[in-house]
Structure 1
Amino acid sequence: MPHRTVQHDEVETVKVPDRLRDLCEAYDQTREDMVPGTARTRKMTAIFEEMKTQAPLAQASLREFKVHESAGFRLAAIAILQVFPSKDDLKWLAKCLDPNVEKPFVGYHAAVALAQAVRSLSMSDCSLLHSEVARALALAKLNPDDPPRIQTLEYALKELAVKCSTKKGQRDGDPDHLSNRRRIAER
């Protein structure tokens, strides 16, 4: 697949697949040209889904995309993180829920990426996951007129509670775990 070189002042030069560059530009153009509504959301969603198919080819560009001035490139970073969750990028994803930083469409997909991280990352990351998903939820609530972002994050916190509560009972030497064992043995 042909590549073009993309440069940014703060980041070294990286190769971006032409198809992904086109999708980033198509997202930006769609936001600019279409009036808000169902048709625009549907088109932006189709672009985002196609971005996810390009994620394996674009992982090396993640750092560049995260700091890009174009919302389309930042959305591509989120697409990569939905496909390949990374604990190193949780803080950045949470920040994307700030309505003063990103538009609701980008924020929603950042919320989905955080929910995917909850499902995919190790139980040893529970503390970091909890703090960043909770921070993202607080930021999402700054725009109460967009319930899908809020609901996605609330559900992610519920999933995280289940995932991380299992961890507590499985640790050797955990007093709750030992007392449960004793109760079972006494029956």
Structure 2
Amino acid sequence: MLFILIAFRHRIERSLEEVESLVLPGGIEAKFRRTLDREAEAVIQAKEAEPENAPSRQLQAAQRVEQLAESRGPTFARQQMLGIAREYEVVRASMSPGDRRTREMEKIVTKMRTLGLATRDSLAEFMDSTSPGARLAAIAILQVQPSPDTLIWLSERFRIEQPFVAYHAAVALLVSARVLGPEHADSLRVSIERAQEYLGAGREQSDRYRVLQDALNEVNSNAR
């Protein structure tokens, strides 16, 4: 009997989720959030176990979530992302600075990336938002789908945002350097060097500077 229960556990869980989504208020949204959480957690585990495969795993997760979100209507994914943006702001405001808060915020960014493809149509709105969480969401979208039109905006994050958000802007610039074609090399170089200037002297040992330098090295290597 125990073997049978274990063997059919996942099928039972899926059936219960389907019933919940049909009969409980907010059931569809709750099911989507659980799926998003599972996908994001799998990405985090993959990054820890196989860092070299993490970008492809992240993209695959974002593609699966995008397909799931499409059936929910045109504004569903946007509302989910705004909810995650508020979650970031609450965590940042309510927790003391330190490793624990950083880990929680990294989990939130992973969820944002996983929802990134599903919300790319809201990129301009998030970029122009007065909400730090929404601007972080824009950066997360650009980490999974870089755009040459946003490079200067990313560099401006180093003048405006808190270090955690600026770090993820650096990651977005690094992804852009790896993905965008050689025709964008000059724009990338200008944006990265501007970000380094905004970061200022004495920050060469910071993670933000290190990622920016990796991005610049990537651009220079691809231009050879």
Q: Do they fold alike, i.e. is TM over 0.5?
A: yes
- Given the alignment of the two structures, is residue 55 of structure 1 paired with residue 102 of structure 2, yes or no? no
- Aligned partner of 1:115 in structure 2 is 174
Contact preservation (8 Å) 2:189, 2:219: yes
Give the Cα–Cα distance (whole angstroms) in 1 for the partners of residues 86 and 205 of structure 2. Answer: 25
Whichever residue aligns with residue 102 of structure 1, its letter is E
- Aligned partner of 2:92 in structure 1 is 31
In the TM superposition, residue 146 of structure 1 has moved relative to its aligned partner by 6.8
Instruction: Name whichever structure is richer in helix by fraction.
Output: 2
Alignment size in residue pairs: 152
Paired residue for 1:20, among 81, 84, 88?
A: 81
Change (3 A) 1:20 1:126: same
The residue correspondences of 1:96-107 to structure 2 (distance < 5 A) are 96-98=157-159, 101-107=160-166
Alpha-carbon displacement from aligned partner over 1:72-99 (angstroms, at most 9, x marks no partner): 000000000000000000000000012x
Structure 2 unpaired stretches of 5+:
1-27, 30-73
Alpha-carbon displacement from aligned partner over 1:139-186 (angstroms, at most 9, x marks no partner): 123572870000100111111111011xxxxxxxxxxxxxxxxxxxxx
Matched position secondary structure for 1:68: coil
Change (3 A) 1:68 1:134: same
- Aligned partner of 1:179 in structure 2 is none
Task: Calculate percent identity across the aligned residue pairs.
Answer: 36
Give the Cα–Cα distance (whole angstroms) in 2 for the partners of residues 19 and 114 of structure 1. Answer: 25
CA-based RMSD of the aligned residues comes to 1.8
Give the Cα–Cα distance (whole angstroms) in 1 for the partners of residues 193 and 204 of structure 2. Answer: 18
Structure 1 window deviating more from structure 2 (28-37 vs 134-143): it is: 134-143
Matched position secondary structure for 1:96: helix
Give the Cα–Cα distance (whole angstroms) in 1 for the partners of residues 103 and 121 of structure 2. Answer: 28
- Aligned partner of 1:148 in structure 2 is 207
Paired residue for 2:105, among 38, 44, 63?
A: 44
Contact preservation (8 Å) 2:148, 2:184: yes
Whichever residue aligns with residue 85 of structure 1, its letter is P
Contact preservation (8 Å) 1:137, 1:153: yes
- Aligned partner of 2:151 in structure 1 is 90
Whichever residue aligns with residue 152 of structure 1, its letter is V
Contact preservation (8 Å) 1:118, 1:160: yes
Structure 1 unpaired stretches of 5+:
3-13, 166-187
Contact preservation (8 Å) 1:65, 1:74: yes
Contact preservation (8 Å) 1:20, 1:54: yes
Instruction: Name whichever structure is richer in strand by fraction.
Output: 1
Give the alignment's TM-score, normalised by structure 1.
0.77
Q: Displaced runs of 4+ in structure 1, greater than 3 A?
A: none
